[in-house]
Structure 1
Amino acid sequence: MPDGGGRLHAEQHYTYHRPVRVGDVLSAVERDGETWEKKGRSGTLKFAEMITDYRDQSGELVVTATAVSVLRVPHEEKA
């Protein structure tokens, strides 16, 4: 997706692989997820996932967070 304004936060959800416990020290690693488009009357909506995996001090996966952003690309004006 192009950089710049116009991008909105559309969705956020979490998958807990086990309960977070007192004393856990979590580290986060981000990665790109899926991308897709939907076309409408006013233009195209471009969606993109950003996935963050949270692991504990022993490397066990504890939580996966998935954020979805959306960018509206208007139709080109015809001359």
Structure 2
Amino acid sequence: MAIDPAIVGTEFPPTTLTVEAGRLRFFAKAIGETNPVYTDLDAAKSAGYADLPVPPTFLFAIELEKPDAFAFLAQAGVDLRFVLHGEQSFTYHSPAVAGDVLTATPRITDVYSKKGGALEFLVKETAVTRADGSAVADLKSIIVVRNPGAGK
């Protein structure tokens, strides 16, 4: 089933997360980050941060706080059995640190297909801001959906 391009422009409810130092340490360990600035408060402060900084890819985890983090795919009519990770990118505006309250506001910005509809692409962009509204980063993810019925 093709993804309805009418979903382009859909903005989803924001997710807010208070960044906790313990969670940042755990995340750094999970991704194999060895720079002490991400796990040691003294190292972080020596590097000029007010607290432990958020590791670069951590921001994608904010949206995973929702009870059903992939509901937007179901809303688009996507069968999760056929979902592939396409790509992700980050545009950083300012560093976030432990104690920051961050809000992620996602929206669908594009839907397109390739290979005669065998592959569909859903582009989601997410603005991450602090409680005061200042920009932290813009995230972009491209989700690929295999369409086994295409071309038959």
Fold in common (TM above 0.5): yes
Q: Which runs of 5+ in 1 are unaligned?
A: none
Task: State the distance in 1 between where 2:78 and 2:143 align.
Answer: 12
Higher relative contact order, chain-length normalized (CA < 8 Å, sep 6+): 1
More strand by share: 1
Task: State the distance in 1 between where 2:138 and 2:112 align.
Answer: 20
1:14 paired with 2:85, answer: no
Q: Name the SS of the counterpart of 2:118 in structure 1.
A: strand
Task: State the TM-score, normalized to the length of structure 1.
Answer: 0.78
Q: Alpha-carbon deviation of 1:22?
A: 4.6
1:49 paired with 2:110, answer: no
CA RMSD of aligned residues (A): 1.8
Q: Which runs of 5+ in 2 are unaligned?
A: 4-76
Task: State the distance in 2 between where 1:72 and 1:11 align.
Answer: 15
- For residues 18-60 of structure 1, the C-alpha deviation after alignment (integer angstroms, 9 at most, x for no partner) is 22245421111111121221116xx621111111111001111
Task: State the TM-score, normalized to the length of structure 2.
Answer: 0.44
Equivalenced residues, count: 74
Task: State the distance in 2 between where 1:69 and 1:22 align.
Answer: 29
